[in-house]
């Protein structure tokens, strides 16, 4: 009995409390049961969901929930001081303090290894990474954490961006700060979207905290549909094709032909979409059952006709966050600012430190010199640089957000380059304004293949593995193996084909079958849920497959 209670209430890294675990759904039913008793009392509701969310995060990340409490306390009190302060300079200093504290915490966990490796490379030292927080805990509380490795808290990038948006929105006077710390803690830690988004703006969510509970029959049906849809995406589509095909290819690219590598890339494009959008579907559905509306995070991204549109459809909450809190403050598409050039210098420095030789830094410096000379003597070129520099900065920093690695910077840079090249092509293209169905399909095809190509670096474990995969595709394609590969992995490709067909269905068709489910009687919904759960159980692979974006 004691062991059973420990399993329920204590953190175990082997069994985190996530959507793909039966334990989570038992947990959620219990949460909803007690929620029905208090949902009309707003203060008690916030307090209850705050405690539940802390428990959820503890079961997912262990004692990192203290870090969540720290972020909550810091930004709650800074937000109040920003609102109270009448002096513009004080307000700027306070919002700057919030941003610096949040980014320092994020950098400690995500970029410590990068900084230490860079110092060792530059100075010839042999410093080792030490987790000072674990060392402090071991000395003060008698814990036994490993101090030789810094673990990344699940969801830190997501809730850090949320707390930053709160401070900035208070500074911009878009919202008034919350007066109750329990309400603010609830906003920061709301468990459905805590560990992998969507990133929720304070201006979108805070007003809901102060509103009465409401949930129509149509919204209930929609919530159940989203949850079932998300589970099928994750456990039937993403996990199955990953374990049975994609992971094998990326683990050892040299052991497979370029044909298999290309098919694995197409498979990964489906996997990462089904995995991530599946999580957010479930998160939005779970939140809606409790009366809270989270923002849409995906909008059929592989229907995009150019790279810029893709990023308006993919991970919408992050794309819009970067646009509103980074791209526009830097000057947007109007012109570069001092901040633009400072960040450019920072990014170039990071890239130089990540490079294993001096060749890349020399190329970068040479490019900067050439660009500067051209800008001095060619006004049109200068204008073009100023109007596009912020796009590249935003996409490069978006790559760095995923990790301090050359492969993520290259991935982000390629996406930025795709946007810039399309802006140039748009000015001379005779087909850009055409509505012909063949041209529309061709543009979707090109955009999808470009995005899939960039994922060579996003998915590969290292730059070396990415180079190996690219080499196999260029020099060892061996198209004659295609029939054999398709037959051997026929079930995987049938699942992939079904996934892509569903993705590319028209909006009208998707609205039809979604509406059919929403309007159906409760017993039909229950029967559909039973069938879907049975399908998930049949497709369930051995072992736990974490959501891809947990690593960020």
Q: Are residues 48 and 157 in the same domain?
A: yes
Question: Is 143 a member of any domain?
Answer: no
Q: Do the domain assignments include residue 46?
A: yes
* Residue spans of the chain under pLDDT 50: none
Structure tokens at 450: 């470009």
pLDDT score of 455: 94
Structural domain of 360: 313-428
Residue 111: what pLDDT?
Answer: 82
Tell me what pLDDT residue 264 has.
93
At residue 262, the pLDDT reads 92
* End position of a domain, from candidates 394, 428, 462: 428
Instruction: Say yes or no: 40 and 157 in one domain.
Output: yes
For residue 349, the tally of other CB atoms under 10 A from its CB is 13
3-state SS of the chain: helix, strand, coil percent to 5? 75, 0, 25
In a domain, 308, yes or no: no
pTM higher than 0.85 for the full model? Answer: yes
Asked whether residue 135 is domain-assigned, the answer is no
Q: What's the pLDDT score for residue 359?
A: 63
| 414 and 486 both lie in a single domain | no
- pLDDT for 286: 93
- d(CA 207, CA 178) in angstroms, rounded, equals 10
Distance CA 499, CA 256 (A): 24
Taking phi first (over 0 means left), then psi (-120 to 50 degrees means alpha), and beta for anything else, what does residue 197 get? left
Whether residue 164 is found in the same domain as residue 22 = yes
Cα separation, 201 vs 208, whole angstroms: 12
Whether residue 343 is found in the same domain as residue 474: no
- Write down the pLDDT at residue 155: 80
Tell me, what's the pLDDT at 309? Answer: 94
Residues 372 and 289 placed together within one structural domain of the fold: no
Q: Is residue 249 part of a domain?
A: yes
pLDDT at residue number 298: 93
> What pLDDT was estimated at residue 299?
93
* Residue 317 sits in the same domain as residue 373: yes
- The residue out of 428, 456, 491 marking a domain boundary is 428
My answer on whether 76 and 158 are in the same domain is yes
Q: Are residues 262 and 218 in the same domain?
A: yes
Residue 540 DSSP label: P
Domain boundary among 144, 171, 204: 204
Are 109 and 172 within one domain? yes
Residue 433 lies in a domain: no
Contact 161, 24 (CB under 8 A): no
State whether 401 and 359 are in the same domain.
Answer: yes
335 lies in some domain: yes
The two structure tokens encoding residue 314: 């993919």
* SS3 state of residue 16: coil
Residues 517, 421 share a domain: no
pLDDT value of position 194: 81
Q: Spell out the residues 6+ positions from residue 167 whose beta carbon is closer than 8 angstroms to its own.
A: 75, 78, 79, 82, 94, 95, 98, 99
Torsion of CA 99, 100, 101, 103, to 10 degrees: 80
Longest dimension (CA), the chain: 79
Answer for the pair 392, 386: CB distance below 8 angstroms, yes or no.
no
pLDDT given at position 407: 85
Number of domains in the chain: 3
């Amino acid at each position: 009995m004691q062991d059973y209670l420990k399993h329920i209430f204590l953190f175990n890294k082997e069994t985190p409390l996530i959507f793909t675990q039966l334990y989570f759904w038992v947990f959620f039913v219990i949460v909803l049961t007690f929620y029905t008793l208090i949902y009309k009392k707003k203060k008690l509701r916030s307090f209850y969901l705050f405690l539940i969310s802390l428990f959820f995060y503890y079961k997912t990340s262990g004692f990192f929930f203290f870090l969540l409490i720290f972020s909550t306390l810091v930004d709650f009190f800074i937000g109040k001081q920003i609102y109270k302060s009448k002096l513009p300079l004080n307000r700027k200093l306070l919002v700057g303090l919030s941003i610096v504290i949040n980014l320092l915490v994020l950098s400690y966990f995500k970029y410590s290894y990068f900084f230490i490796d860079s110092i060792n490379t530059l100075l010839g030292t042999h410093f080792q990474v030490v987790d000072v927080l674990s060392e402090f805990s071991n000395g003060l509380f008698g814990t036994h954490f490993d101090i030789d490795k810094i673990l990344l808290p699940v969801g830190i990038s997501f809730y850090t961006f949320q707390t930053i948006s709160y401070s900035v929105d208070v500074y911009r006077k878009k919202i008034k700060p919350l007066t109750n710390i329990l309400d603010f803690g609830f906003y920061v830690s709301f468990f459905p979207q805590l560990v992998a988004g969507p990133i929720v703006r304070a201006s979108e969510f805070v007003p809901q905290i102060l509103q009465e509970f409401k949930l129509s029959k149509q919204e209930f049906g929609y919530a159940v549909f989203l949850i079932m849809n998300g589970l099928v995406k994750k456990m039937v589509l993403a996990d199955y094709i990953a374990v049975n095909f994609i992971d094998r290819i990326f683990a050892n690219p040299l052991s497979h032909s370029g044909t298999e590598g290309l098919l694995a890339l197409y498979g990964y494009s489906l996997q990462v979409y089904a995995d991530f959008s599946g999580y957010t579907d479930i998160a939005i559905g779970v939140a809606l059952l409790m009366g809270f509306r989270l923002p849409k995070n995906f909008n059929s991204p592989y229907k995009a006709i150019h790279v810029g549109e893709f990023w308006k459809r993919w991970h919408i909450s992050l794309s819009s966050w970067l646009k509103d809190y980074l791209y526009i403050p830097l000057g947007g598409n109007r012109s570069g600012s001092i901040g633009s050039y400072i960040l450019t210098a920072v990014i170039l420095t990071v890239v130089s430190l990540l490079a294993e030789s001096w060749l890349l830094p020399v190329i970068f410096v040479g490019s900067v010199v050439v660009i500067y000379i051209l800008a001095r003597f060619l006004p049109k070129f200068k204008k073009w640089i100023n109007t596009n520099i912020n796009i590249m900065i935003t996409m490069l920093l978006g790559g760095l957000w995923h990790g301090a690695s050359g492969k993520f910077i290259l991935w982000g840079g390629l996406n930025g380059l795709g946007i810039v090249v399309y802006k140039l092509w748009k000015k001379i293209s005779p087909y850009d304004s055409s509505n012909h169905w063949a041209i529309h399909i061709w543009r979707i095809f090109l955009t999808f293949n470009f995005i899939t190509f960039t994922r060579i670096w996003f998915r590969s474990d290292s730059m070396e593995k990415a180079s190996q995969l690219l080499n196999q595709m260029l020099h060892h394609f061996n198209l004659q193996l295609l029939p054999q590969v398709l037959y051997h992995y026929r079930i995987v490709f049938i699942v992939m084909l079904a996934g892509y067909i569903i993705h590319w269905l028209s909006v009208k068709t998707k609205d039809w079958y979604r509406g059919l489910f929403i309007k159906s009687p409760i017993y039909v919904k229950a029967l559909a849920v039973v069938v879907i759960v049975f399908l998930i159980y049949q497709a369930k692979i051995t072992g736990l497959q974490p959501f891809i974006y947990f690593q960020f």
